[in-house]
């Protein structure tokens, strides 16, 4: 008898590597199955399709990030730093999210990502209402600024990083 959960875990591990490297369109189920030591029919049995496997993998990676790097409204620069460190340690989530947006656009965001974003906005808004952080920006814009600061170094040429670092230092000083 096969261990369904162990097989799914092997497929997800292999899929993380494959999708991170090739995206949704470039990923091949035969490579995923071979790396996992499984029959590719198991991908369809457990996930329905290659896209279903990708969606499940992205959801797992987003949930992992949410649990490992919780929002800290009172220390948004620290939160940005922890996000950056997490992305540096495991860049696959940024790659998966980028491939998802390239192939699906912004109209079909993963539910886990939408819920996480909503929760973070609510936490920031609550801290603003309680006077624990500035209300100079609305909660959505403030979260967007913090999150984008955490990923900017991964998409910004080295020549502009010094400018970003100075901007971050000014934000922290405020």
The pair of structure tokens assigned to 146 is: 């913090």
- Give the chain's end-to-end CA distance (angstroms, integer): 61
**pLDDT per residue over 3-30, tens digit each?**
888 999 999 999 999 999 999 999 999 9
* Fold type of domain 69-173: Tetracycline Repressor; domain 2 (1.10.357)
Report yes or no on whether pTM surpasses 0.85. no
- Mean local confidence (pLDDT), 92-115: 81
What CATH number belongs to 1-50? 1.10.10.60
Residue-range domain boundaries for the chain: 1-50, 69-173
What is the signed CA dihedral for 44, 22, 66, 141, rounded to 10 degrees?
-130
- Mean local confidence (pLDDT), 36-65: 93
32 Cβ contact partners less than 8 Å away, ≥ 6 residues apart: 11, 14, 15, 18, 40, 43, 53
Question: Is the pLDDT assigned to residue 156 strictly greater than 70?
Answer: no
Q: Which of 91, 5, 11, 118 is closest to 54 using CA atoms?
A: 11
The pair of structure tokens assigned to 97 is: 């999210």
- Mean local confidence (pLDDT), 121-147: 94
Which ranges constitute the DSSP H helices of the chain?
4-26, 29-36, 41-47, 50-68, 76-89, 92-104, 111-129, 139-155, 158-173
Q: Provide the pLDDT confidence category of residue 163 given band limits of 50, 70 and 90.
A: low
The predicted pLDDT at position 50 comes to 95
> Please, what sign has the CA dihedral across residues 97, 100, 103, 109?
negative
The predicted pLDDT at position 31 comes to 97
The predicted pLDDT at position 124 comes to 96
The predicted pLDDT at position 1 comes to 39
């Amino acid at each position: 008898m096969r261990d369904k959960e162990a097989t799914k875990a092997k497929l997800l591990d292999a899929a993380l590597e494959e999708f991170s490297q090739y995206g949704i369109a470039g990923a091949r189920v035969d490579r995923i199955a071979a790396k996992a030591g499984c029959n590719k029919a198991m991908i369809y049995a457990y996930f329905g399709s290659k896209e279903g496997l990708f969606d499940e993998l992205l959801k797992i990676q987003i949930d992992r990030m949410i649990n490992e790097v919780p929002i800290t409204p009172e220390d948004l620069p620290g939160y940005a730093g922890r996000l950056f460190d997490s992305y540096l340690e495991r860049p696959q989530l940024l790659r998966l999210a980028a491939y998802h947006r390239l192939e699906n656009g912004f109209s079909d965001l993963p539910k886990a990502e939408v819920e996480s974003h909503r929760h973070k906005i609510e936490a920031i808004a609550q801290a603003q209402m309680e006077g624990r952080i500035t209300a100079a920006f609305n909660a959505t814009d403030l979260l967007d600024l913090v999150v984008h600061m955490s990923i900017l170094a991964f998409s910004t040429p080295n020549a502009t990083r010094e400018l970003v670092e100075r901007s971050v230092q000014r934000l922290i000083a405020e």
